Structure 1
């Protein structure tokens, strides 16, 4: 019955990892009281706040680039390069954009975005949202991510110990009972991962439940195709407010212009 020792290891891994994930998920879902600024109830989100809650610092960076491009103060090329047209930023975030592009006034988009995600204005925005109870603190996000990784590791441990245990089962008793016992912790860990994907993922990354509620109140217009120069009955291009709102909430997939999507999705070296 040496295989029972491996069964204990499998069950231990499953129970410990699933318990940690449940505790981390509960902590991330707890309503957070506002310690500064207006209460979440009754307030509205700015575009940059909505962008952070929906997609984090990267979404804020994309929104800043597109916003300045729409105002003809930056040029976003489909090749993935951004060029400064107007070097005078109107606020701290725009000045960070220009500084990230560099003194030559031109740069690939990916390094600019990477610098913006850690810029002081973006960190300050995150701190304000956390203080208002709308964003999940970085520690809580890290705990959930680490717990999910531990459950995935536990799945691997269960499979490995199960294979070893089956090799040790006496032929006379058959593999049936051992398979059944190992199937239970594997089912437990797999179920936790599925539940975490459905229940934890929507808010644990950036927005708290209160932040999710505010995001849900934003009226995002349906995506419409860019008007064709030759006509053909296509809808007119959405105005800046509609386009930027859709980008803030849904990301680059909501942009109707394929050239603009290509510019933001370009990889280093393009």
Structure 2
């Protein structure tokens, strides 16, 4: 384990306040280009995690994201988008942040420094051995996150992490460590930038792959999406028209009747369409 902290190291740029807006934007973009190669290097670890989580979810397991600050908010964002996109319950992927929901908008003082609180928060959900806990922390040192995954692992729960420092304490505390080494931030220590971007990309890969392997996508379509607005109703109608060749009015009527594209497709299949 190393004490090196790339995420806290000095920016490769200096005198930022003297740059023009164009220079700032070009420089930020140059740094952002380093994110994709770093994420690509993590794919074997992401693959290992997803394959294990799929099998656990098929048996009733859930996925928990545990983080603080930006990392916690990104986990909550990813978790909150899964139900409307794939038509699953809000209890399948759960995002937790140090300090609770109020910390989503405003930092809660010292919450992330409490190593016991993360596990206490997980226990409130009746966490069990079919579940998976993924800690997210750019630094790899956040006590709230480390405490949560360490106790989870001790209790036979599959654990993973997403971090942006190599050889961190967090990585050493989990079964599957995903380390996206994106280098120093443009503004020194501002991990909402490249580190946060890499975390978001990895979270996208994890949950999208999970939902596809759990049968929530047909072809390349979100056939289980919730019909929460007119845009999604129109999208679902088009899917049915394309798949079954129905007139638009009929497709829309059946979509609203059955509640999802997938249900319409299943009904048509049962009727021998």
The TM-score normalised by the length of structure 1 is 0.25
Higher fraction of helix? 1
Name the larger-Rg structure. Answer: 1
The TM-score normalised by the length of structure 2 is 0.25
| Structure with more relative contact order (C-alpha pairs < 8 Å, separation 6 or more) | 1
